[in-house]
A and B are shown apart, each in its own frame.
Chain A
Amino acid sequence: MSLEEPTPEDGAVEVLPTEGDEIADLLGDLVVDREEHVNAPGFVIRPDTVQETLTRLRDEAGFDHLSCVTAEEREDRYESIYHLTSFDDRQREVSVIVPTAKDDPVSESAEPVFRTADWHEREAYDLIGIDYDDHPDLRRILLPDTWQGHPLSQNYDQDRPQIVTLKEWENPLAEDHREDEGDTMYVNIGPHHPATHGVLHVKTVLDGEQVADVDPDIGYLHRCEEQMCQTKTYRHQIMPYPDRWDYASSGLLNEWAYARAAEDLNDIEVPEYAQIIRTMGAELCRICSHMLAVGTFALDVYGDFTAIFMYAMRDREKTQNILEDLTGQRMMFNYFRLGGVVWDLPEPRDEFFELIRDFLDDLPEAVEEYHDLITSNEILQSRTIDTGVLPPEVAKSYGATGPVARGSGIDYDLRRDDPYGYYDELEWDVITEDGCDNFSRLLVRMREVEESAKIIEQCVDLLEDWPEEERNIQANVPRTLRPDDDKEIYRAVEGAKGELGIYIRADGTEKPGRFKIRSPCFSNLQTLPEMSNGEYIPDMVASLGSLDIVLGEVDR
């Protein structure tokens, strides 16, 4: 790690309460009960003190990142868990648990404190059925408005088919203006539109060429991923699913999110050799994913299938081929296993290393070409600089992570701040840009590709010299994993799009009691109205492209 370690002299860090008891002191009477999660201390509070608690934690203890909101229904109560952490020190974590009564699940909304809670609580309402008081806009988010029941609640009848016909559901595309009078025009961008990168529906109000209001409508690609993971066993059955969240070639990064959470839950140590392979594979995926992001962003700004898009796809194809050699699959890798990876590097190893080295040797030239074609292009600069501005405080409040946060100058990267895998043993830098605009986000991705290449190169060096008898790819993991009842964990990794977190509550069986995915795209997409209101339509499209969302991960 070339970056400075936080020094112990740094007074500000030391004063902040981090230990469970310190936080308990801070919260005082607000705490009703204590819990211990694997990742963090948990504090049970009353449902009407959510805002007070979160405000105090944010302002006085520096927990400025509401990473995730998990909701679940237990035997005797409903529960919302706010997973808080800090942008400055990711390893400080705290869970705030808000139980609500079975017959009247009403809890105070956290939206006034953290704006990211808006969508997270809407999802909790949609899937679990908890009502949030004081929420500005509590309506369903993933399912259609006419849906009956809350699919992840306990009394939900999963066997009853619900077909929502267009007639039953008042067609949201039919409206053509919001008010009877007014000079604005209401346009549906999507669900089928060239610039939405999938089935995203952006309800847009236009004032001439300018965007007066945007409201992203998601859920078209909701595939019940959380529910499916809850019906599968830890050991083998869940692993294929993460590949399908962010399917645009970040498969291994997603798998790592599950692997990390499940391994920490079950106290599994991963052998060093496997960690290096994981790190290398994950960074290849990151390059793949960033190449696609850069290419499609250029496509959004250029407007036609231009050279830069095809060049990005060409280079992405090379990583895709390496990953195919490594995992046997092009997209849906299913390569990680709890405790390691499924198989060793492909034989002959020399040829495989040669392939990676060829790619790494060609990469600087390719990146140079991109800079020639895009970042140094004056038209592109005038299109992207100072458009889609996302100030750092706003980004933090919305829980934006990954290149979106780093493009706003937030120095936050889980690979460094909450080290896992082999990252802390390697030399690389966290990239940040202070522009807060579309151009910065583009630059961050392009520069991160180079950092990933550095990491891969070091991994290849290590793997090449690794003694043959110590090539241990898999820890000894029991055939059936049954973590203790009520053991809870929230763990995240740095996915290609940002912080990809998994919350698992074990219920004593071989399947998770609750499996919650914190998707970085979900939180990042929430910032779209902040970036686009008042801008021109093309800038809104560019901002959407610069967020680099994958709808499979937004909707899960």
Chain B
Amino acid sequence: MLPLQSEILLPERIAGLLGLSGTVGQIVGGLLGAFLIANLLLVQTAIAGPWAKRKITAAFTDRIAVNRVGPFGLAVIIADAVRLLSKELIIPEGVDRPAYDLGPLLVPFSALLGFAVIPMGNGIHLADPETGAVFAFAASSIASLGLVMMGYASNNKYSLIGGLRAIASNIAYEIPLIVTAASVIIFTGTLQMSEIVAQQTEPLLTIAGVTVPQWFAFVNPFAFVLFVVANLAEVGRNPFDVPEAPTEIVAGYQTEYSSVYFVLIYLGEFIHIFLGGALAATLFLGGPAGPVLPGFVWFLIKIWGFYLFTQWARSAIPRLRIDQFLDVGWKGMLVLSFANLVLTAVIVGVIA
């Protein structure tokens, strides 16, 4: 059996291919690797945003959606990119710069940063520090800072309310998210992403000749459900899209953004959804593991599966009110996630 996770990380491999070594090799390899992975994600976001989102939502709501430009309407991606980037960038009076400009930048970059430690299979893995899991969560949390900056700097009351709601939601749901992730760490005993993935390749049980791997979604489905729900709140999709809440506060923190900034915010949101999917895949679904197809393809399938799930939730589930939303977070998710953590710790402690 081929190792799912190659020992050599992407920057080293690139350095090797270029024949560079030492510090120069590390820097050039690292930059090129980061460039590659960032572009990979941007391409996916480009497909997800202007095209897949429309097609998926249309399928849920009995419509056809984009089908005029290119095969299956795919060329709408180019058309939309040109359209959005050529729009006027309106900076309202009285905004607080540079916070107003930095906010939209922080959102996508924090999400991209998180991808640095995600093993995507077939050796596409930028860095593998021992604190990988912590790094990923920490990086993705930086986005909250961007949201506050946008909400506060926009000089708009809807933005302000949206920014405050975003913070409330991030605090309320990030704790259950990380505590649930910690229950996986109890199993693995390590924060290193490659190690977490490697441990999930062990067989859990065999049914009728089919070996079921020890994915933590199978080992502890309860934690997986908690994680996915908390993740949904993290990326702000129904029933948790309270921070944006188009029918209540127009568009929340992004009300005053247009053109390129608007693109950046949406880019950030989509990359966050993918990061959420990638974390769920790495921690619970064996990372890039899967039969027959190459690891990277499985990785893509998993993160797109999560993306599909968020769009499904968006089309079918009503939004909670802000107080109910916080109740669910603090009184429900937090309690359940701690119960899960303690229970996991006890079980692991007893077995081991």
Contacts and interface: CB of A to CB of B under 8 A. Distances in A.
Interface of A: 176, 185, 187, 193-195, 206, 209, 298-307, 309-311, 314, 373-374, 377, 379-380, 382-383, 536-539, 541
A195 B158 CA distance: 13
Binding site of A, secondary structure by majority: helix, strand, loop or mixed?
helix
Nearest to A545: B247
Contacts of B318: 298, 301-303, 374, 377, 379-380, 383
Contacts of A195: 247-248
B317 to A, nearest CB: 6
Nearest to A309: B61
B223 to A, nearest CB: 23
**Residue of A194, A373, A374 with most partner-chain B CB within 10 A:** A194
B272 to A, nearest CB: 17
Given A304-B238, A306-B238, 6 more contacts: A187-B158, A304-B246, A304-B314, A306-B316, A383-B319, A383-B324
15 contacts: A176-B157, A187-B158, A195-B247, A302-B318, A303-B248, A303-B318, A304-B238, A304-B315, A307-B62, A377-B317, A382-B320, A536-B321, A536-B322, A536-B323, A541-B247
B323 A185 contact: no
A306 B314 contact: yes
Interface string B296-316: 000000000000000000111
Contact of A383 (B238, B250, B320): B320
Contact of A187 (B157, B247, B316): B157
Contacts of B319: 301-303, 379, 383, 538
**Residue of A185, A311, A374, A379 with most partner-chain B CB within 10 A:** A379
Contacts of A300: 247
A379 B239 contact: yes
Interface residues of B, number: 28
A278 to B, nearest CB: 32
Interface string B65-104: 0000000000000000000000000000000000000000
B241 interface: yes
**Residue of A206, A299, A307 with most partner-chain B CB within 10 A:** A307
Contacts of B315: 304, 306-307
B324 A382 contact: yes
A35 B30 CA distance: 93
Contact of B248 (A374, A377, A379, A537): A537
A517 B261 CA distance: 48
Contact of B60 (A193, A307, A379): A307
A305 B245 contact: no
Contact of B61 (A194, A311, A536): A311
**Residue of B158, B161, B245, B321 with most partner-chain A CB within 10 A:** B321
Given A185-B157, A187-B157, A209 B323 contact: yes
B208 to A, nearest CB: 36
Contacts of A314: 62
Contact of B320 (A185, A209, A379, A537): A379
Contacts of B63: 310
Interface in B233-250: 238-239, 241, 245-250
Contact of B250 (A193, A374, A538): A193
B48 to A, nearest CB: 16
Contacts of A374: 318
Contacts of A187: 157-158
Contacts of A306: 61, 238, 314-316
A321 to B, nearest CB: 16
A301 B319 CA distance: 6
A185 to B, nearest CB: 6
Nearest to B244: A303
A299 B314 CA distance: 12
A309 B238 CA distance: 15
A377 B60 CA distance: 17
A303 B238 contact: yes
Contacts of B321: 383, 536, 538-539
B322 A209 contact: yes
A300 B249 CA distance: 11
Given A187-B158, A314-B62, A537 B316 contact: no
Given A304-B238, A311-B61, A383-B318, A299 B323 contact: no
Given A379-B318, A537-B248, A303 B323 contact: no
Given A307-B61, A311-B61, A383-B321, A302 B158 contact: no
Contacts of A194: 246-247, 250
A310 B247 CA distance: 16
Contacts of B314: 304, 306
Contacts of B246: 194, 303-304
B57 interface: yes
Contacts of A382: 320, 324
B320 A305 contact: no
Contacts of B247: 194-195, 299-300, 303, 541
A537 B249 contact: yes
Q: Which 6 interchain pairs have the tightest Cβ spacing?
A: A310-B61, A195-B247, A303-B319, A379-B318, A302-B318, A380-B318
A195 B315 CA distance: 18
Nearest to A302: B318
Contacts of A538: 245, 248, 319, 321-322
A304 B53 CA distance: 13
Interface in B243-288: 245-250
Contacts of B161: 206, 209, 537
Nearest to A192: B250
Contacts of B157: 176, 185, 187
**Residue of A194, A304, A311, A379 with most partner-chain B CB within 10 A:** A304
Contacts of B323: 209, 536
A502 B296 CA distance: 70
Given A309-B61, A537-B249, A373 B239 contact: no
A380 B324 CA distance: 12
A305 B61 contact: yes
Contacts of B57: 305
Nearest to B324: A382
A181 B323 CA distance: 26
A539 B319 CA distance: 12
Contacts of A373: 316
Nearest to B325: A538
A299 B319 CA distance: 10
B297 to A, nearest CB: 30
Contacts of A302: 238, 317-319
B266 to A, nearest CB: 14
A114 B110 CA distance: 58
A37 B344 CA distance: 81
A299 B324 CA distance: 19
B110 to A, nearest CB: 24
B241 A307 contact: no
B245 A303 contact: yes
A307 B316 contact: yes
Contacts of B250: 193-194
A300 B248 CA distance: 8
Contacts of B238: 302-304, 306
Contacts of A209: 161, 322-323
A533 to B, nearest CB: 16
Nearest to A535: B321
Given A209-B323, A302-B318, A382-B324, A541 B61 contact: no
Interface in B5-60: 57, 60
B316 to A, nearest CB: 6
B161 to A, nearest CB: 8
A382 B328 CA distance: 12
